[in-house]
Amino acid sequence: MTAIDPVANLSALIRCPSVTPAEGGALTALEAMLKPLGFTVDRVMATEEGTPDIENLYARLGTGGPHLMFAGHTDVVPVGDESAWTHGPFSADIAGGEMYGRGAVDMKGGIACFAAAVARHIDKHGAPEGSISFLITGDEEGPAINGTTKLLEWAAARGERWDACLVGEPTNPDHLGDTIKIGRRGSLSGTITVHGVQGHAAYPHLADSPVRGILSLTRALMDPPFDGGTDNFQPSNLEVTTIDVANKAVNVIPSKASASFNIRFNDTWEADNLRAEIIARLDRAAAESPLRPGRPPVRYDLTWSERPSHVFLTRNNALIASLSGAVEAVTGREPKLSTTGGTSDARFIKDYCPVVEFGLVGQTMHMVDERVAVADLETLTQIYETFISRWFGHAAD
C-alpha cells in the first residue's frame, strides 16, 4: 500500500529542496502520498505585501467527527556550508543506519511517519470513524506570516472544526519517547531608550549620562525574578539581549543609550499584565536610580517589538493520555510532559483546539549533517499509529 513505509516517504520529501519560502516539490510529494489514501487535498497560496508568497497544504480524510488534525511544515532552514555535509543535504542517503538530509528531523520526518501511520491504520481497520486532516505549511522556518495562521483561518472559514491536534515537531532531547510538549511559554520583547545629555566626561554635572540610566533600568528588569515557576512551567526568565551606546570617544558622555530584552514567561502572566509589571519596574528604577543620586528621574521610552507569543497549556486528558499511552506502549518509556523550549506553531493552533506536540529526536535539527536514525522512523510510525487508534477510541467513548 502506498505511503506505508516512512523511510520511502521521508526520502521523497528530503529530495525536495524546500528551503523557505520555496515549495520545492515537497507539498506535491506529500499530496502524492495522501491522495491514494482517500484524502481530499487543497493547496492554499497565501500572500501578503512585503513577504514572499507561500504555498500551504490542507488535506482531509472523512467528513464526520471526531476530527483529528496533524500539523507541521515541509519548509526547511538553509543548508549552511554544503561542502561540510557528509552526504548531500537533499540526498536522503542512508549510512550507518541514519538517513541524511535537511529536514530529516525538523520536520519532514514527522510528516513521513504520520502519513505512514495513517496508511497502516487504513490498511488494518479501514478509514477511521471520523476525520483526519493534515495542516501543513511552507512557512514555519521563515516569517510565519503566510503559514499556519492563514491556513487555519482559511480552513475555519470553510467550516473546518477540529477536536484535537498533534504537531509533529521534534520534541525529544535524547531518545524517542522522552518528551511530549503540552504547552509553551509566552515570549515578549521590547527596547528601552534612555535619553541623557551629551557632555564632557570631566564635567558630568553639566551632562547627564544615559549609561547610568540604562544600567539601572536593565538591572530592574533582571532582578528580582518575575516568579518562582508553576506546576507546569519553569520560572519566567528575562534576558537583556543587547545594550547599545555606540560611543567611540572616551572623553564624551553620550546622549543616548538603548537596550533590548526578551522574556519567556509562564502561566503566572498574560502578555498584558506582564507589560504592566515591566513598565512599573522601569518607572520605579527611573525614579530611584541609585547611580544618579540627586538627579531627576531617568527619561526613557519603551517600544514593544513584534506580536507577543501567548503562553498556553493543554489540559485535554483524552489527547494527552492517548499520546503518552501510545509512547509508553511502543517504547516502554513514560514521556515527560513538558513546556520548555521556544515557541512553535502550536501557539496558533491552540486557539482552535487542544494541541500537543511529539516528534523525533531533535539533536541535529538546523545543523550540518541533519539526520535521523532509520529505526526511529519505524518506532515513531508505530507510536503515531497507536495514538490514532487510541484517540479515536477515546473520542468515541
Question: Annotated active-site positions, please?
Answer: 75, 140
Q: In whole angstroms, give the CA distance from residue 238 to residue 258.
A: 16
* Residue count of the chain: 397
Q: Is 159 helix (H, G, I), strand (E, B) or coil?
A: coil
Which amino acid is it at 11?
S
Kindly identify the residues of this chain, within the stretch 74-103, that bind Zn ion according to CB under 5 A. Answer: none
Choose between 106 and 163: whose C-beta lies nearer to Zn ion: 106
Choose between 106 and 370: whose C-beta lies nearer to Zn ion: 106
Choose between 71 and 92: whose C-beta lies nearer to Zn ion: 71
| Half-sphere exposure at residue 233, Cβ-oriented, CA atoms within 13 angstroms | 24
Nearest residue to Zn ion by CB is 106
Site string for Zn ion, 147-176 (x = CB under 5 A): ----------------------x-------
| Least distance (Å) between residue 392 CB and Zn ion | 26
Torsion-angle region of residue 159: left (phi > 0), alpha (psi -120 to 50) or beta? left
Which amino acid is it at 204?
P
Choose between 106 and 267: whose C-beta lies nearer to Zn ion: 106
H-state helical runs in 223-373: 271-288, 317-331, 346-349
Which amino acid is it at 312?
F
Kindly identify the residues of this chain, within the stretch 15-44, that bind Zn ion according to CB under 5 A. Answer: none
| Least distance (Å) between residue 377 CB and Zn ion | 16
Site string for Zn ion, 106-135 (x = CB under 5 A): xx----------------------------
| Least distance (Å) between residue 107 CB and Zn ion | 4
Kindly identify the residues of this chain, within the stretch 165-224, that bind Zn ion according to CB under 5 A. Answer: 169
Q: In whole angstroms, give the CA distance from residue 72 to residue 280.
A: 39
Size of the site for Zn ion (CB under 5 A): 3
Q: Are 354 and 183 in contact (CB under 8 A)?
A: no
| Least distance (Å) between residue 239 CB and Zn ion | 23
Name residues whose C-beta falls within 8 Å of residue 27's C-beta, 6 or more positions apart in sequence: 18, 43, 55, 56, 57, 74, 136, 138
Q: In whole angstroms, give the CA distance from residue 339 to residue 181.
A: 6
User: Rg of the chain's alpha carbons, rounded to an integer?
Assistant: 25
Q: In whole angstroms, give the CA distance from residue 88 to residue 82.
A: 7
| Least distance (Å) between residue 383 CB and Zn ion | 18
Choose between 255 and 363: whose C-beta lies nearer to Zn ion: 363
Kindly identify the residues of this chain, within the stretch 229-258, that bind Zn ion according to CB under 5 A. Answer: none
| Least distance (Å) between residue 183 CB and Zn ion | 17
Choose between 357 and 385: whose C-beta lies nearer to Zn ion: 357
The residues that touch Zn ion, with contacts defined as CB under 5 A, are: 106-107, 169
